[in-house]
A and B are shown apart, each in its own frame.
Chain A
C-alpha cells in the first residue's frame, strides 16, 4: 500500500502518465489474447483432424454403390467388397425402436414436471431424471443384462439393446422437452383456459404444438447421441455379417459393432471398411444434428 506522502513524492518526481498502460500490463493482455485464440485453434484441430482422417481413409468406399446395397455376408477380412447395409439398417432400426419407446415416456414425464408436478413427487421424479442422466452407458447395458439374461435367462437380442439405449435417451428427452415447455408463454395457457378448454386439451393442442419444433430438435439430438453409443452393444448386441431385421431373436449388426469387430485388423480391405463404417456413422449423426439445429432455428418459441 502506498501512503499519501509516497504518492505525492512520486508524482512530484515524475508527472503522472495517463496516456497508456504500463508495458508489462499491455504485454500480459496481448499474451492472453494470443493464448485464448490459440486454444480455440487447438480445440478445433482434433475435430478437423478426425473428420479429415475418416473422410480420406474411408471416403472412397462410400462412393461405391455396393456399400449401400450389400452386406458383409461371405466377405472375409482379406477380400475387398461387400457393403454396410446390414449395419446401417441395424443402427437405424434400433434407433427408431429406441425413440418409439423413449419419446412417449420422456415427453410425458416432461409434461408432468412442467404442467402437473408439484411438491414431493415432482422433486423425486426430477432427482431420478438427474441420476439417470449420469448413468454410464456400460452400466445401463449391464443392468439390462442382469435383468433379462441373468435373472430371466433369455437370449441376447436387438430389443434388449433398444431397452438399454432407452435408459440413456429418456433423460435427454425429458430435459430438452422441459426447457421447451417452460418457454411456452403462460398467456397462451390462460387464454385457452378462459375459453373453457380443459387442461389436457390445452396441453395437447396449445402447449405441445407451440413447443413442437423444440421438442423434435431435442429428440433428434438425443437420437444422434444414442446411435453412436457402443458400450451397451458390446454386452447385448453381438455382431453378425448378415442382414437381420428380427428384433426379438438372433444377432443384429450395427455400425459401431461393425467397427468394433475389425478394430485390430491389419489387413487393408478390413481396415478400409472400418474407416468407411466410421464415416457412415459420423455422416448419419451429423445429418441428425444439423436437422435438429435447422428445425430449432425455425422454431416458434
Chain B
C-alpha cells in the first residue's frame, strides 16, 4: 500500500548522468520498441496535459467572474452570483470547510493511531490481518451511504449530545447556539467525516508502526519498560512523521468530501449572521458547488463556483504536498 504515501519510483532513481537502474539501453530501436515506448511516454504526457488543462481551464473560467465580482472574494460572506452586479465571497465556505475537517481530524487521528497500535502491537497474529481488513472495508462504503446513515440514523441520536454541549459549553464561541435548530450541523458533518477518514489515518499509521525496528522495541523492553512505555518511547517517535502525513492525507480527503457533507449540514439563507459555532449551518466549498449545480447556466455563475472550486483545489494540493514532504523527509532520515 505504498501508493497511499504518494511515493513513486521516479524518486528512487539515480540522478541524470549516473548509470541507469534496470534494463536501460535494452531498447533496440526496432519498430515494436519505438511504438511501445512511444505509447508509454504518450500516456505519461497525457497525464501531464490533463493536470495542466485542469489548472488552465479552472483559471480561465474563474478569472472573468472574479473580475466582475463586486464584493471581496476572500472576506465576503455573500453568495449572489447572478445579475449584473454579482457579489460573492468564500469566507463562510472556508470557515465551514476548515471547521468540519479539523473536527473530523481531531477525532480520527487519536482514534486511528490507537487502532493502528492495537493492530500492530497488541492484536494476536491470527486477529491482526482480518481486523485490519475490516477497518479497510470502512473505506469501501460510498460517501452517499455515509450521508444517508448520518442523516437518518446517527443524526437524531446525537441530538442529546449536541444539546448538552450547547447548553454547558455555550460560552465558548465554537459551541455557541445558532439559528440552526436541527441536528444537521457542522458538528454532525465533522463526526461522520471522522469515520470516513479513519481508514486512511489507520492504514498509513499501521504501515509505519509495523516498520519500527525490532531492535528499538527490544532495547526498550530490555531496559525494563512496560509495553506502553515501549510504545511511547520507541514506536510513537519512530512513527511520528508517518502519523503526520496520514493526518494530512485524511485532511485532504475531508476537505474535498462532497455528498455526505451536503446531506448533513443545513444550508443557511443568504445574509445569515456570521457564526463561529460547530452548531451552525452553511456549506463547504464542495457542497456549495454540488448544491449549485442547477445554477450552472451562464458562464458568470459557473465561473463563481469554479473560483470556489479552484480555492478547494489549491487547499487540498497544499495539504497533500505537506503530507508528501513529511514522508519524504522521514525516508531521508531512515536510510
Query: Across the interface, do A179 and B317 meet the contact criterion of CB distance under 8 Å?
Result: no
Q: Contacting B259 at CB < 8 Å: which of A54, A126, A150, A234?
A: A234
The interface bits of chain B over 299-320 (1 if a CB of A lies within 8 angstroms of the residue's CB, else 0) are 1001001100100110011011
Task: With both chains docked as a complex, state the minimum distance between the C-beta of B243 and any C-beta of chain A, in angstroms.
Answer: 14
Report the Cα distance A22→B123, complex, angstroms.
25
Q: For A263, give its contact among B54, B61, B263, B286 (CB under 8 Å).
A: B263
Q: Produce 1/0 per residue, A249-271, CB < 8 A to B.
A: 00000001001100100000000
Q: Is the interface of A mostly helix, strand, loop or mixed?
A: helix
Q: From residue 102 to 158 of chain A, which have CB atoms closer than 8 A to chain B?
A: 104-106, 108-109, 111-126, 128-140, 142-143, 145-147, 149-151
CB–CB B40/A230 < 8 A: no
Is A78 an interface position by the 8 A CB rule?
Answer: no
A202 contacts partner chain B, Cβ-Cβ < 8 Å:
yes
Establish whether residues B36 and A145, one from each chain, have CB atoms under 8 Å apart when the complex forms: no
State how many angstroms separate the Cβ of A19 from the closest Cβ of chain B: 12
- Complex CA gap A178/B44 in Å reads 13
| Residue B268 is within 8 A (CB to CB) of chain A in the complex | no
The answer for the CA separation of A172 and B4 in the assembled complex, in Å, is: 9
User: Does the CB pair B198–A129 fall under 8 Å?
Assistant: no
Partner of B258, one of A145, A228, A230, A286: A230
Bound complex: CA A230 to CA B147 (Å): 11
Kindly list chain B residues whose C-beta atoms are within 8 Å of the C-beta of A119. 16
Known A119-B16, A282-B141; judge A133-B23 contact (CB<8 A). Answer: no
Instruction: Contacts A39-B118, A132-B51, A146-B306 given; indicate if A32 touches B286 (C-beta within 8 A).
Output: no
Q: Enumerate chain B residues within 8 angstroms of A28, measured Cβ to Cβ.
A: 226, 228-229
Contact partner, B42, options A108, A142, A175, Cβ 8 Å: A108
Q: Is the CB of A224 within 8 A of B35?
A: no
CA distance A166 to B258 in the complex (A): 18
CA distance A35 to B273 in the complex (A): 41
- Decide: A43 near B313, CB < 8 A? Known: A122-B13, A189-B23, A259-B148: no
Closest to B196 in A: A46
Q: Is B85 an interface residue (CB 8 A)?
A: no
Q: Are B50 and A167 in contact (CB under 8 A)?
A: yes
Task: Kindly report which residue of chain A lies nearest to residue B224, judged by CB atoms.
Answer: A21
Q: How many whole Å from A239's CB to the nearest CB in chain B?
A: 12
Asked whether, in the complex, the Cβ of B144 is within 8 Å of the Cβ of A228, the reply is: yes
Residues of B within 8 A of A (CB): 2-3, 6, 8-11, 13, 16, 20, 22-24, 26-28, 30, 32-33, 35-37, 39-48, 50-51, 53-54, 57-58, 61, 111-112, 114-115, 117-119, 121-123, 131, 133-135, 137-138, 140-149, 151, 153, 195, 198, 202, 224, 226-229, 231, 252, 255-259, 263, 286, 289-290, 293, 296, 299, 302, 305-306, 309, 312-313, 316-317, 319-320, 324
17 residue pairs bridging A and B, Cβ less than 8 Å apart: A21-B226, A49-B149, A53-B153, A111-B40, A125-B45, A129-B8, A135-B256, A136-B312, A143-B54, A146-B302, A200-B30, A200-B36, A231-B258, A231-B290, A234-B293, A263-B151, A289-B137
